Structure 1
Amino acid sequence: MKIYFDKLYRYDRLQEPAGIALPFKEGELKSADRIAITQNGRKCMVQPKITSKHPDGSIRYLYVDFLADIPANKGAVLEFEKESDGKYEEKGVSVTQTEQGLRVDTGCVTFTVNNNSQNIFETLDDGRKHYTAQNFEGPYLKDDMGLYDINIGEWKIIDAGPVKCVIRAKGSNILNNKKVDFEITLTSYAAKSWIDVSYRIINTTYDELHIKSLVFYAKPDETVTASDDLFDMHINMGNDSTGCGDVLTDNSKENGPVYHTRGTGELEMISGKAPVSNVRTLVGSSNYKTDFYIGRDGVQVNKIIDDAYLVKEANEHFAEVFYGTFLADYTDGNDGLCITVYQAQQNYPKAVKAYDGGVAVMLVPEDIGNVVMQSGMAKEQRFLMHFHEPDMQMWELDNRSTIYQMPDRPCIAPEEFKKAEVCMDVFPEHLVNEVEIALIARADNHSRCYGMLNWGDSIDMGYTLQGRGGGKPVWSNNEYDYPHSCALMYARTGIRRFLDYLIVSAKHQMDVDVCHYSKNPLRIGGQWEHTAGHCKNGIMVCSHEWVEGVIDYYHFTGDERGLETAISIGDNILRLLDTPMYAKPGEANARETGWALRALVALYVETRDEKWLAKCEWIIDSFKIWEEEYGNWLAPYTDNTLIRVGFMISVAAGSVMRYYRVFPREDIKQMLIRAIDDIVENCTLDNGLFYYKELPSLSRNGNNTLLLESLAIAYELTGDKKYLEYGFKTFETNINNTGRAGVGSKKVIDDAVIVSGDSTKGFAQSFIPLVTYYKALGDTGLINNVKLY
């Protein structure tokens, strides 16, 4: 199996940490003990993690962290081997238990963490300077009640090397009787002098949490008083009308104490004017070339990101992949520390500053923006602490900072996923350019919504205009499992940005869309339905809880929180299914228990835990009773009507089919065929489309792609091509009317900067139906019968 790195950066990356998910067919790989990744005949340091197994116990998904040499301005091809001697020469990162906590040694940085402490680090040594707990403060939480104290609990080892070490601790922010929990995760790599810090705050109160500030300080001297004051820099280089970051400056005659430049061209000259022996301070941000403020003699420089800044700044990137970087550096004659905030613009408000007291990282700056976390909401934010030599060039700091924002992401050929049969078959043998172009456009053409609590989600204007948010925007909350569609799109194309879409949206779902704290046991661990404020006044129902995307996230990143979130959502679904709403078949519409069945089947396939099966069998039986009682899968609408809703029946059919593929039974097969026959017979309009819903007031032209999945299912079950013919017009209309992604307009709504585009619901709802129907058309040759522009 070949592993590919795309061409990316202009400088070599030697022994660069990377990770990849590798799929395997059942029985192909029994153990990861002897695997290897080789580059030019040399074995790379590897760290495998089995994330999923087949029923026979063989490996289904393997996530491998490894170190690779990636050449400047070129791609690279490596080889995966299932059997080797497993040896490599380098010494890896190690983690050991101490009496008080843990000790981590990367070979470049050694640090200790203590249980039940008030500081992240107890000691840290980078070979040039010895730091103590007093050199690092926070992150400190402040709200309208005041500044919270910090209590960090017991540190646990998540991944133990040799390529990377991950340790995690839970803690609490405490003020009087109020307690707001958090998680801190530290990730470090073999022979690297940087530490990736993740801080995940969780509103474990029953009230809104109005965050006034959330700040981390790194100080060169224990006696320094930390400060988070900010000021306008009042330096203007002029507009960059080309959008290429090429506005020139001339600092040759400037005497400071602050120098302003864009790009790296003047950095060497400025370094002579701002020597590190007298303390050099630096902040920078970018989306093209980095815009630097550099201070001499420890003078303060800072950068601020708020909504006004984002609205005025031009940017053409797909921001899930990259927007720009955001860094602050303090360097003196002894040592240097550069801290980069990950996706700061996307998660505004943010600020960084460097001054004679070190570096302040403001995950929420005071009096900038308005961050209000609802009860039970969580939010993870990350920053990279890069300890470096005093003589490291400023362009090198900028380079590592930018790579942190957009790391090299290796991939494998889509054929490997198809051969492994680990996911739904979304791999047509006959590719049609018009369809491929439309699918990519649908995946790309979604709104990007910036804001600390909004990034990874999108506003659904249909729901908003209907008034479902009471005049406020309605957030889609990953409806129809947008992360899962992104994962499948990535598997079938190998296009890197679809993996980034998956990661960003799944992280949002795990944090904001899931309830982490509540008085109501029917909410704990569950996912909120689309609503205003993400969860404000929201409800939880089985038709709007999804697990496949966060399971995909687990496979593709190795982050076990994805699987933990999926299990928590599944447990919530089980509790909801025991409520009176679902007690009588037919009282809820077909998609309610349909989506529940889809989630529970996915959890069984992933975990092989039979606790998920009891409700699966109960749902299958309820569908049979439903059909017997009403004649078909009809849905309650008005008090005196039961109607056909084709797309809801299709959700149910798709979910039952997922169960059937794991547990094939003739009675289930025939029930599915009858349900789809009913759609074809009763929901088809003379113009070739299907109607929306079965009432005179609702039987308008429908364009919902979910019915295409039902037709593809009927073909899969019967081999009869006639089912596919009913979908020609719906398929043509959707493919031919797909928009094209581009830069959209921006506007500020509450705590979000909205870049125009479709709701992520559009792609999430349509992708699987379109691609499975498209594959069936290709398999039968009927693709030649549809009219594509």
Structure 2
Amino acid sequence: MRTAWLLTLLGVTTMSLSYGGEVVLHRSDPSNVQARAVPVTVGVPFAVGQLTDEKAVALFDAGGKAVPCQTAVTSRWWGRGGSVQTLLVSFLADTAQERYVLRYGAGVSAGPLPTPAVTAKTDGDAVVVNAGVLHARLGGGFIQQLAYDANGDGKFTADETVVDSGKPAVLRCGEFSSAFGKPERVEIEEAGPIRAVVRIAGHHQSPAGQKSIAYDVRLTFYAGLALIRLDHTFLQDTDQVFADLPFVSLDLPLAMGKASVTFGLDAGKEATVQAADGRVGLLQVGPGQKESIAGTNSEEFRRILEERKKWWSPDEEARWTKGPEITEWATTLADSTGKRKVGERAAGWMLVTPEGKPWALTAGVRYFWQLHPKAFALDRGVLRIFAYPDDLGRPLHLHVGTAKTHTIVLALHPTTTPLHPPRRIPWLTTSYFPSPQWYCDSGVWGQVLPRKEGQFSLYETEASRTIRSDFVERPERSNGYGMLNFGDIAWGGNKWGNLETAYDHGMAVQFIRTGDREVFDCFERAVWHFRDVDVQQAKVPGAWDWGLWLIPGYMPEKLAQECDKDAALREKIFYWTGTQPPELGGVHRHSYMHFANAADNPAPSTTSYPEKRLRMYSGSCDVGGHGWIVGLVDHYLLTGDRRSLEVAELAGQWVLKRGGTGWGRDNWKNIDLAWLYRATGKQEYLQRLMEAIDVIYNDRESTVERIAAQDKTLMSPFYTILQFFKHVHQMTDDPGVRQKFLDLVTRWIDHVPTADSHIGPVFQYVRDYRDSRCHTDFADLAYAYLLTGDRKYLDKSLNTFDFYLHFAYHSTAFFSVPEYLYALDKAGLSALTDPAPSVRAGKAFWADETDKPVKLVVYQQSGYRVAAGETTGAIEVTSPSGKVTSTKIDRGGLDVYRLTIPPDGEKGTYKVEAKATGCYFWLAADVPLL
């Protein structure tokens, strides 16, 4: 247990505080909001046995004053005594406070209640919420009534009614609405005192009772605040493979007459218009993704495209021949005078100020322009917030099983004191997080090490650079925006990553190690995308899902429909169609436009696999080698977001239904189950894991044979297997699992073959292949060292680890490598001290006017999954006078060359150039390279 101490100046005397321990929560806010009461909810982790009584917690500000808070246990150390693993803490923060302190344990009792508190109570079929200044009635329809105490006198007068009971706020999808038919769920998930959460779920229906898509909305209210956060999810779960949705909106009829409306535009600009009997609105659009197919310049592809024109719809023909209809960012304002462009990327908020009312309403959508298309409108007194606008001229063509969640904020305030500035408060970006040391010490994410200045510098530099490049810079480079795209990253040919390999989990671990808010925001955006778009969340009608195959132009929708019916036609076009139909909880693999596969396919005529030439791969949607849901569990533990866990459990149920046991990289499914057990404690997950451990361990004698075959495979035989063994042991402390884990990892380290490199012997499968399946091996070895204290697990692998981490910055690195770094730190070992590559090419220059020695590091690669073989080449360093020093290159694959250029009496510009057949190079030095 962590104990706080008061040091004195009198020698070594210390005095224990009168409570068990404390967690310091540090302010984090990229928007730098200044306010006295900002909602904060954060998941706080605890080590095994650290917090046994969840009621023995209280929150204090930096000055020691007790602060009201609300807590809930979101997970426990289920297999190790049941103490709290993660505690969800909600409070209203004064942003002038840089930190808050959560005290816990013996001697701590619950703190004060807020005045006023927020309450949520059932009233018949409805729920009534009282937040002090805000009253709401929720249920059939949606928001049945809303009132705001604008003058703060504790009463609600007629002019303080915002939504009248006769005209409720509703959810709409074209002609279908939540106003027709009862919701299927109205549930109080949290009832105060700091925040109340009410979930309303059902289907948009027609007046005749016909159902359209589903809605699932969580409304969050806060004590004493006139603020509502709505996490609004719509899901295409109809009986059609595709549904055409004219628009999707939240409509709030406001109890008012005329009003002025202000829209937030680019760069802090605003536009104010008057609204009376007509409609005023703001439309945000952005450029679409340009569909492309690898190999389209070949004669065969042009012939195939010509043949398939007869199947094209006008929309597909336009997409293929003319590019996307929208090619640039545009924000368009519409009022009684017409339409006009007023910017490119709007801020995503609007302010409605009614005439003659004491209240005004600010509404906002988080990531408004990034999730384009979006729109706001005030239409004859109805505030309309569009998840998909009604004036684009084309419907949203949405695949079954696809969902989308938007965070909408409604903030009421007196007309005389509007929010300043209104663009900031709605986003709720303020948080207070524990320190990286606290996160790491909890053990919830394994034994990981906080980032330390100057330690393991190559890894820390490249890890930060890679995440920022992929999730901050790449969206701008590759147009990674749009409602179904934002949060994922596009690879070549619009082949989407779908967060390979659990990239969101990697970012979660990087965040807890660093406290980097930018990493947390990237992680959260990735989770939001993945859980909505990449996980199948509804059953597919029929025996086949022809929608998975669509690639505009090459695989038109009409042709796909015919393939559904015609097996011979299907066989002609596809070399693999996967498991059909995709089932609830399956994860889409590298989806094209997020619901069909592999823009790298159809395979080119030059492929070495004749059966694949000019045919397509399609249909993978399962939870195996590409079913990564760990990041969803991370998000639940870090934020308490229930939807993340709910979607993760969909995939978990798929595994329990379809997943088997045994060797292979598909043991990702067992890592998923391990994390679901961590979050839920459900025995069905643990039981399957124990069965899988027994099946693999009973076949342990094949280990040496599998290791011997590594020169013909891409990865170690244990890639994902020992990872889930490790997770199970961490969560249960089961001695049998410990023994089996150590037996298998020892068999592996004692028999793994090695090969020479230019920095010494390294594991052969790492030297010969570049693949993402190696990081976890180092985490396994680190755990074996921590369990036994035996240095051989580190000594035999350290050089390979240092070698491999010159190249392998992939999602798996971010959650595996920190465990090895932790072990190195414990053992007092060093690694990864070379400079990071500054030139990602084979040629560079540097200026030397001092004639001092220069350290060069040359990083050699042969490409992803390209077998290493003999080659010819050299690294040449040319001095200012033209003198050439050469280092021979005779083998491909990965290699590292550490060269020292000694003083030679020359000054001026030096050149280094690396060339070898079948290889490419990165260059680094302890001087600036040009």
Could you state the TM-score of these two structures normalised by the residue count of structure 1? Answer: 0.76
State the partner residue of 2:824.
777
Cα gap change, 1:611/1:650 in structure 2, threshold over 3 Å: closer, same or farther? same
- Alpha-carbon distance between aligned partners in 2 of 1:714 and 1:42, rounded to the nearest angstrom: 45
- Alpha-carbon distance between aligned partners in 1 of 2:34 and 2:741, rounded to the nearest angstrom: 57
2:360 is aligned, of 328, 332, 336, to 336
Alignment of 1:697-716 (within 5 A): 699-700=768-769, 705-706=774-775, 707-713=777-783, 715-716=785-786
SS of aligned partner of 2:143: coil
Query: In 2, are the aligned partners of 1:16 and 1:67 still within 8 Å (CA)?
Result: yes
Cα gap change, 1:428/1:410 in structure 2, threshold over 3 Å: closer, same or farther? closer
Cα gap change, 1:441/1:705 in structure 2, threshold over 3 Å: closer, same or farther? farther
State the partner residue of 1:500.
521
Identity in percent: 21
RMSD of aligned Cα (Å): 3.5
State the partner residue of 1:183.
216
Query: In 2, are the aligned partners of 1:281 and 1:299 still within 8 Å (CA)?
Result: no
SS of aligned partner of 1:159: strand
State the partner residue of 1:657.
726
1:512 is aligned, of 526, 533, 548, to 533
Query: In 2, are the aligned partners of 1:141 and 1:215 still within 8 Å (CA)?
Result: yes
- Alpha-carbon distance between aligned partners in 1 of 2:488 and 2:434, rounded to the nearest angstrom: 28
State the partner residue of 1:646.
715
- Alpha-carbon distance between aligned partners in 1 of 2:180 and 2:762, rounded to the nearest angstrom: 60
Q: Show CA shifts across 1:511-560 (max 9, x none).
A: 22222211589722232333223333332142222343222211211122
Query: In 2, are the aligned partners of 1:542 and 1:576 still within 8 Å (CA)?
Result: no
State the partner residue of 1:232.
none
State the partner residue of 2:259.
279
Query: In 2, are the aligned partners of 1:283 and 1:353 still within 8 Å (CA)?
Result: no
Query: In 2, are the aligned partners of 1:689 and 1:701 still within 8 Å (CA)?
Result: no
State the partner residue of 2:199.
168
SS of aligned partner of 1:195: strand
Query: In 1, are the aligned partners of 2:623 and 2:669 still within 8 Å (CA)?
Result: no
- Alpha-carbon distance between aligned partners in 2 of 1:736 and 1:642, rounded to the nearest angstrom: 21
- Alpha-carbon distance between aligned partners in 2 of 1:611 and 1:494, rounded to the nearest angstrom: 34
Bigger shift: residues 627-636 or 97-106: 627-636
State the partner residue of 1:417.
439
Query: In 2, are the aligned partners of 1:328 and 1:352 still within 8 Å (CA)?
Result: no
Alignment of 1:97-108 (within 5 A): 97-108=122-133
Alignment of 1:54-203 (within 5 A): 54=77, 55-71=80-96, 76-82=98-104, 83-88=108-113, 90-114=115-139, 117-126=140-149, 127=156, 128-130=159-161, 131-142=163-174, 150-151=180-181, 152-175=183-206, 177-203=210-236
Q: Show CA shifts across 1:308-342 (max 9, x none).
A: 4995589xxxxxxx994433424322132221112
- Alpha-carbon distance between aligned partners in 1 of 2:517 and 2:390, rounded to the nearest angstrom: 36
State the partner residue of 2:496.
475
Alignment of 1:512-531 (within 5 A): 512-519=533-540, 523-531=583-591
1:372 Cα deviation after fit = 2.9
State the partner residue of 1:216.
250
Q: Which amino acid aligns with 2:659?
A: L
- Alpha-carbon distance between aligned partners in 2 of 1:87 and 1:221, rounded to the nearest angstrom: 37
Q: Which amino acid aligns with 2:237?
A: T
Q: Which amino acid aligns with 2:500?
A: E
SS of aligned partner of 2:133: coil
- Alpha-carbon distance between aligned partners in 2 of 1:786 and 1:199, rounded to the nearest angstrom: 47
Query: In 2, are the aligned partners of 1:414 and 1:493 still within 8 Å (CA)?
Result: yes
1:681 aligned onto 2:763: no
- Alpha-carbon distance between aligned partners in 2 of 1:155 and 1:635, rounded to the nearest angstrom: 58
- Alpha-carbon distance between aligned partners in 2 of 1:19 and 1:674, rounded to the nearest angstrom: 46
Query: In 2, are the aligned partners of 1:633 and 1:649 still within 8 Å (CA)?
Result: no
Structure possessing the higher radius of gyration over alpha carbons: 2
Q: Which amino acid aligns with 2:653?
A: D
1:534 aligned onto 2:594: yes
1:305 Cα deviation after fit = 1.4
SS of aligned partner of 1:411: strand
- Alpha-carbon distance between aligned partners in 2 of 1:142 and 1:332, rounded to the nearest angstrom: 30
Query: In 1, are the aligned partners of 2:633 and 2:644 still within 8 Å (CA)?
Result: yes
Cα gap change, 1:763/1:702 in structure 2, threshold over 3 Å: closer, same or farther? closer
Cα gap change, 1:648/1:183 in structure 2, threshold over 3 Å: closer, same or farther? farther
- Alpha-carbon distance between aligned partners in 2 of 1:139 and 1:721, rounded to the nearest angstrom: 61
- Alpha-carbon distance between aligned partners in 1 of 2:114 and 2:674, rounded to the nearest angstrom: 44
1:591 aligned onto 2:622: no
1:76 Cα deviation after fit = 1.5
- Alpha-carbon distance between aligned partners in 2 of 1:614 and 1:684, rounded to the nearest angstrom: 43
Q: Which amino acid aligns with 2:782?
A: A
1:27 aligned onto 2:49: yes
SS of aligned partner of 2:824: helix
Alignment of 1:296-695 (within 5 A): 301-308=280-287, 311-312=328-329, 324-334=347-357, 335-354=359-378, 357-368=381-392, 371-393=396-418, 396=419, 398-399=421-422, 401-405=423-427, 407-427=429-449, 431-446=455-470, 447-448=474-475, 449-461=480-492, 464=493, 473-519=494-540, 523-536=583-596, 537-578=619-660, 585=662, 590-592=664-666, 594-629=667-702, 631-633=704-706, 643-647=712-716, 649-661=718-730, 662=732, 663-665=734-736, 666-678=739-751, 680-681=752-753
- Alpha-carbon distance between aligned partners in 1 of 2:46 and 2:98, rounded to the nearest angstrom: 23
- Equivalent pairs counted in the alignment come to 666
- Alpha-carbon distance between aligned partners in 1 of 2:33 and 2:451, rounded to the nearest angstrom: 38
Query: In 1, are the aligned partners of 2:39 and 2:90 still within 8 Å (CA)?
Result: yes
Q: Show CA shifts across 1:540-581 (max 9, x none).
A: 142222343222211211122233333322221111225xxx
1:196 Cα deviation after fit = 1.5
- Alpha-carbon distance between aligned partners in 2 of 1:613 and 1:43, rounded to the nearest angstrom: 40
Cα gap change, 1:6/1:676 in structure 2, threshold over 3 Å: closer, same or farther? same
Q: Show CA shifts across 1:28-78 (max 9, x none).
A: 22223242111233222211011111232221111110112122xxx5222
Cα gap change, 1:136/1:455 in structure 2, threshold over 3 Å: closer, same or farther? farther
Query: In 1, are the aligned partners of 2:671 and 2:720 still within 8 Å (CA)?
Result: no
1:167 Cα deviation after fit = 0.3
Cα gap change, 1:775/1:420 in structure 2, threshold over 3 Å: closer, same or farther? closer
Cα gap change, 1:310/1:729 in structure 2, threshold over 3 Å: closer, same or farther? farther
SS of aligned partner of 1:649: coil
Q: Which amino acid aligns with 2:263?
A: V
- Alpha-carbon distance between aligned partners in 2 of 1:293 and 1:648, rounded to the nearest angstrom: 64
1:9 Cα deviation after fit = 5.8
| Gaps in structure 2 of 5+ consecutive residues | 1-22, 150-155, 288-325, 332-344, 541-579, 597-618, 837-930
- Alpha-carbon distance between aligned partners in 1 of 2:756 and 2:328, rounded to the nearest angstrom: 46
Query: In 2, are the aligned partners of 1:103 and 1:113 still within 8 Å (CA)?
Result: yes
- Alpha-carbon distance between aligned partners in 2 of 1:377 and 1:89, rounded to the nearest angstrom: 40
Query: In 1, are the aligned partners of 2:259 and 2:354 still within 8 Å (CA)?
Result: yes
Cα gap change, 1:668/1:325 in structure 2, threshold over 3 Å: closer, same or farther? same
Query: In 1, are the aligned partners of 2:40 and 2:93 still within 8 Å (CA)?
Result: yes
- Alpha-carbon distance between aligned partners in 2 of 1:312 and 1:674, rounded to the nearest angstrom: 58
Query: In 1, are the aligned partners of 2:167 and 2:253 still within 8 Å (CA)?
Result: yes
Q: Show CA shifts across 1:242-287 (max 9, x none).
A: xxxxxxxxxxxxxxxxxxxxxxxxxxxxxxxxxxxx631211134x
